[in-house]
Structure 1
Amino acid sequence: MPSIDVVINLTREECLAHYEGWARNVRARSLDGRRVIFPATALRHIVGRNGVDGVYRLTYSESGKFESIVALREN
């Protein structure tokens, strides 16, 4: 299963906009500099009281469909 490591830094308010459906996708930058877009629904599993801040591993299918997100390092 392919994966990519990304840095995500979103405030609580930004996460709320994603959660409420105002934003459908999240844009992040991978550790190797690529731009990555994934569904905002993925944040529901990792958002905390202060938002999302850290390095996360995204896994996706061979066809490029998002499958999961796991924290590697949270700040």
Structure 2
Amino acid sequence: MRKILVDLSISQDEFISWYQGHAKSVVATARDGRSVSFPAKILQPFVTREGICGAFEIRFGKDNKFSSIRRLK
């Protein structure tokens, strides 16, 4: 299983526009410089009044499809 580390800083308004269907995917740059695209809906559990901010580990299966996400401490 592959994993990618990303640092995200997304305002609540920006995330809401993604979640309402204006965009279905988030594109971010991983810590190792790779570009990664993943479904915006996987971030929903991490939304606060300020938006989404922090470091996350995203895991993908052998088929390169999303498997899991967790916030890093």
Write the distance in 2 (CA, Å) between the matches of 1:14 and 1:51: 8
Number of paired residues? 73
Which TM-score applies when normalising by structure 2?
Answer: 0.91
Could you give the per-residue CA deviations for residues 21-74 of structure 1, whole angstroms, max 9, x where no partner exists? 11110011101111111011111121111111111000111110011111114x
Match of 2:60 in 1: 60
Distance 2:23 2:72 in 1: 24
Task: Tell me whether 1:15 sits opposite 2:15 in the alignment.
Answer: yes
**Where does residue 50 of structure 1 map in the other structure?**
50
Amino acid of the structure 1 residue aligned with 2:36: V
Q: Separation in 1 of the partners of 2:67 and 2:17? A: 22
Code of the residue aligned with 1:36 in structure 2: it is V
Give the gaps of 5 or more residues in structure 1: none
Question: Is 2:39 the counterpart of 1:39?
Answer: yes
SS in structure 2 of the partner of residue 3 of structure 1: strand
TM-score w.r.t. the length of structure 1 is 0.89
Where structure 2 has 5 or more consecutive residues not aligned to the other structure, the ranges are none
Q: Aligned letter for 1:33?
A: G
Give the fraction of aligned pairs with identical amino acids, expressed as a percent.
36
